[in-house]
Amino acid sequence: MPPQDPKEYDVIIIGGGVAGLFSALKIADFARVCLLTKNGLQSSNTWLAQGGIAAALGEDDSPEQHAEDTLQAGAELCRQEAVDVLTNEGPARIQELLAMGVSFDRRAGKLDLGQEGAHGKRRIVHAGGDSTGRLLSETLMGHTLTRDTITVRENTYAVGLFIQENQVFGVKLLNGEHIFCRALILATGGCSAVYARTTNNLVLTGDGIAMAYRAGAEIIDMEFVQFHPTVFHDESNVEPFLVSEAVRGEGAVLRDKFGRCFMGNYCESAELGPRDIVSRAIAKQMELTGSPCVYLDITRRGKAFIQERFPTIYQMALKHGYDLARQWLPVSPAAHYTMGGIRVGLSGETRIKGLYACGEAACSGVHGANRLASNSLLEGLVFAVRTARHIQGSLSGLRRLTGQEQPERSGKHKNGPCGPTHEPCAALKEKLGKLMLHQAGITRNASNLEEAKKFIQQKAPPEPWIPRERAGWELKNLFLVARFIVEGALERTESRGSHYREDYPYLDPSWSRSIYF
């Protein structure tokens, strides 16, 4: 960091997706902010988002109906108050984005509202057809980079939090630098990169969740990992890309290798069923037909419509040799979204004073056991505003601490080379990813989960180990979140939402509660 830059700010935000950027803009009105991103600002899941943002904006829609759909998808594990906040405050956040210059698509002068699985109404606003995340990010980044009270530091990897008297007062960076603050927001995204096949940017290795846990925050609901049903399937698996649920919302159907439409056999809503049901149906049909994939068919909509509505997906498919106007696209599920995370209240607050979490890194209970499509960007927007308001009201009461700097809560620490188990970090990460995909993925059972637990116990880097390199920290964090997922899945002896146990295939009302770490 240049020597003229300060080492102390009012608020530090870690993460450059929608939650981090929007909260930074709100806080910049009353405080000095330092926004840290692990890679560049474009390396967020927000940038990759295609489908859009759900909000009750239609004349035939209401926040109550949006809430009902959200609760239904969440399989009786949503927190009602959080859902009400999300759906009631969502429309106002969309109006803010419009005022900031986000060019949502319109038809006949009105917002062009799309429909996705498990939504009872057309309520998805989108931009650039299927480029919502990129255009949203570009707008928020543009505003952020012009604010004098926001310092943005890209390619800056945070590895630990400083806590004293149950209050956060700073962050330790990989390069050994310390930056201090009175409040800190973790907006670091989820941890689906713990799976070998994922839609996520691979930099999302659960860092914020791991840092929060080591600092003393509670982690909940980690067994609930949503798999996106339709991700481009290539035998090389070099470049899987997500094919938005909105494609099925616009009439695409799923076919098996024999050309048969099969979703009606699994779900009354067929292609528009909740993501967990569609993902399991695809996995089952692949098993029954002995095929590594199924096929998404939107040929009936014609080239002009597809190119206008889904320009990014159309070009990506074409890049891989598939013309969506004439050919079916091979797809299969991939790990997509972390429903669990850092336990927070309705304003992003944790049980550590001054420490907040927002976006996918947080768990307010809004998604329950299965996130409703296009509620994720909305969650980032709505709870970023609430977090900023809470910080504004409490900042004056947070003391500036400069006491003993201890970024983790466990044991003695020794520096060591990457790979404390004498295996290269990259090799261990690959083994962990494959194991999680097959043993703790779409379908689970006790035998597979126990095997995964044993591997994690034997191979996980010890918590007191402090890596010198980024790859070591990422490996350490991935093993920690993998442990949470596997242990939670073992403990939850039922099937609910995205968590499906072959040996416990039914929902158990006694399990309408969270598992804490």
More confident residue, 66 or 45: 66
Q: What's the confidence (pLDDT) of residue 268? A: 86
Tokens of 507: 């929902």
State the Cα–Cα distance between residues 88 and 383, nearest whole angstrom: 12
Supply the pLDDT for residue 411: 34
Greatest C-alpha distance within the chain: 67
| pLDDT tens, residue by residue, 49-66 | 888 999 999 999 999 999
Per-residue pLDDT, 249 = 86
How far apart CA 13 and CA 35 sit, in angstroms, is 5
Side chain identity, residue 256: D
Would you say 369 and 223 are in contact if contact means Cβ atoms under 8 Å apart?
no
Q: Say whether 409 is catalytic.
A: no
> What is the Cα Rg of the chain in Å?
22
DSSP E strands in 53-196: the ranges are 53-54, 106-107, 110-111, 124-125, 150-153, 158-164, 167-173, 178-180, 183-186
Which pLDDT score is estimated for 238? 63
pLDDT in the model for residue 421: 57
- Report d(CA 40, CA 42) in Å as an integer: 5
Let me know: does 373 contact 72? Beta carbons within 8 Å.
no
What's the CATH number of domain 7-224+339-517, 1.10.600.10, 3.40.50.720, 3.50.50.60, 3.40.190.80? Answer: 3.50.50.60
Looking at residue 59, the DSSP 8-state letter turns out to be: T
Name the strands in the sheet holding 167-173, side by side, starting at the edge strand that comes first in the sequence: 158-164, 167-173, 178-180
- Cβ burial of 236 (10 Å; 0-12, 13-18, 19+) is exposed
Predicted local distance difference test score (pLDDT) of residue 410: 38
Q: What is the pLDDT of residue 404?
A: 53
Q: Which CATH architecture has domain 230-333?
A: Alpha-Beta Complex (3.90)
Residue at token pair 């498990």: 118
Same CATH topology for 7-224+339-517 and 230-333: the answer is no
| Residue pLDDT, tens place only, 402-418 | 655 554 443 334 444 44
What are the tens digits of pLDDT across the range 375-404?
999 999 999 999 999 999 988 877 776 655
pLDDT digits (tens, 9 = 90+) for 449-475: 999 999 999 999 887 788 989 999 999
Q: Residue 403: its pLDDT value, please? A: 54
Which uninterrupted H or E stretch holds 382? Answer: helix 376-394
Q: Please tell me the predicted confidence (pLDDT) of residue 415.
A: 43
Q: Which of 123, 275, 371, 492 is catalytic?
A: 275
Mean pLDDT of 312-329: 94
Token pair, residue 484, equals 């949470």
Stated pTM of the model: 0.92
- Report residue 4's pLDDT band, with 50, 70 and 90 as the boundaries: very low
* Amino acid 1: pLDDT: 41
Please report where in the chains the tokens 């530091």 appear, as a residue. 153
The one-character DSSP state at 366 is S
- pLDDT-derived band of residue 45, with 50, 70 and 90 as boundaries? confident
- Give the total residue count for the chain: 517
Distance CA 418, CA 283 (A): 36
Give the DSSP letter string of 231-291: EE--TT-SS--B--HHHHHTT-EEE-TTS-B-GGGT-TTGGGS-HHHHHHHHHHHHHHHT-
Q: Where are the beta strands (DSSP E) in 126-166?
A: 150-153, 158-164
Q: What percent of the chain stands above pLDDT 70?
A: 94
In this structure, how many other beta carbons lie within 10 angstroms of the beta carbon of residue 63?
18
Domain boundary assignment for the chain = 7-224+339-517, 230-333
With a CB cutoff of 8 Å and minimum separation 6, the contacts of 34 are 9, 11, 12, 13, 150, 151, 153, 179, 181
Tens-digit pLDDT profile for residues 141-177: 999 999 999 999 999 999 999 999 899 999 999 999 9
pLDDT of residue 51: 80
Percent of the chain at pLDDT > 90 equals 80
**Structure tokens belonging to residue 20:** 């981090």
Q: What is the mean pLDDT of the chain?
A: 91
